[in-house]
Amino acid sequence: MKVTQVKCPKCELPLYMEQQDEFFYCSHCGTIHTREMQRVERIPYEIADFRDSTPADNRIYVPFWRLLTDFRIKSQDVRGGFFGKMGQALKGGDRGGALYIFVPAAHLETPAFRYWSVNLTINNPRYGTRNDFGGTKRMPAATNREEAIELADFVAVTLEAEKPGTLQYLDYSLTVNEAKVVYLPFVSSPSGLHLAL
Ligand SMILES: [Zn+2]
């Protein structure tokens, strides 16, 4: 196994990376840094707690970008579908509001990527947080913030495709106001990943 050694940008202690990971986690000071446009940048993150009944075997943390977006539907004729539901839920005449979009930061196969981005965006997960990984494995991150922000539009289009309404064309605007990483607890099994919240 190839082990890469880098220094933590905050406390300067060495970090030993056993796998290729976009996120450099320092277990000494608990910070995560990432390389963004050639620059090393600290990223805010949360670690969600496992459900108590989760068996210790096959526990894994999967990183997601949680993007706080300002989502505005511009089309006047939106009935049904996800955007229609959104439009009704958003108060006021301008049909805009805050939407949390979840983008997997780990490399997932396309069906799993679609499934988890859609489900977590429609039903935002609720969880308690903890301060460390407690020895649980974590999936390496493959997607940086810029890439996640670019993927937010893909997720929005996918949401509409999953629950199609009568929207003739997608006319909306989406602005990302905040990007944070959330490590969500999963159990990995031969049938795939199962959320353990
Ligand atoms: Zn450190």
Do 58 and 187 form a contact (C-beta atoms < 8 A)?
A: yes
Question: Mapped to the 3 state alphabet, what secondary structure does the chain carry?
Answer: CCCEEEECCCCCCEEEECCCCCEEECCCCCCEEEEECCEEEECCEEEECCCCCCCCCCEEEEEEEEEEEEEEECCCCCCEHHHHHHHHHCCCCCCEEEEEEEEECECCCHHHHHHHHHHHHHCCCCCCEECCCCCCEECCECCCHHHHHHHHHHHHHHHHHHCCECCCCCCEEEEEEEEEEEEEEEEEECCEEEECC
| Tens-place pLDDT, residues 62-104 | 999 999 998 887 766 666 677 766 766 665 456 778 889 999 9
Domain check: are 105 and 67 in the same one?
yes
Q: Are residues 20 and 108 in the same domain?
A: no
pLDDT block averages, 10 residues each, the chain of length 197: 74 83 91 84 96 91 96 71 67 71 95 92 93 94 93 84 61 89 96 94
For residues 117 and 182, membership in a common domain is answered with yes
- Kindly give the distance from the C-alpha atom of residue 57 to the centroid of ligand 1, in angstroms, as a whole number: 28
Query: Which of 43, 58, 74 is the C-terminal boundary of a domain?
Result: 43
Ligand 1 centroid–CA 25 distance in Å is: 8
49 and 103 assigned to the same domain? yes
- On whether both 23 and 57 belong to a single domain, the answer is no
Q: What is the C-alpha to C-alpha distance for residues 95 and 78, in angstroms, rounded to an integer?
A: 11
Q: Which domain holds residue 29?
A: 1-43
Query: Considering the entire predicted model, what is its pTM?
Result: 0.88
- Angle in degrees, CA 64, 48, 134, rounded to 5: 110
User: Both 13 and 98 in a single domain?
Assistant: no
Q: Are residues 89 and 168 in the same domain?
A: yes
Tell me how far the alpha carbon of residue 19 lies from the centroid of ligand 1, in angstroms.
18
The verdict on 39 and 49 lying in the same domain is no
Ligand 1 geometric centre to CA of 132 (Å): 13
| 22 and 107 both lie in a single domain | no
**Spacing, Cα 5 to ligand 1 middle (Å):** 13
Task: State in Å: Cα 149 to ligand 1 middle.
Answer: 26
The pLDDT of residue 19: 77
Same-domain check for residues 54 and 130: yes
- One domain, residues 68 and 142: yes
113 and 23 housed in the same domain: no
Q: In total, how many domains does the chain have?
A: 2
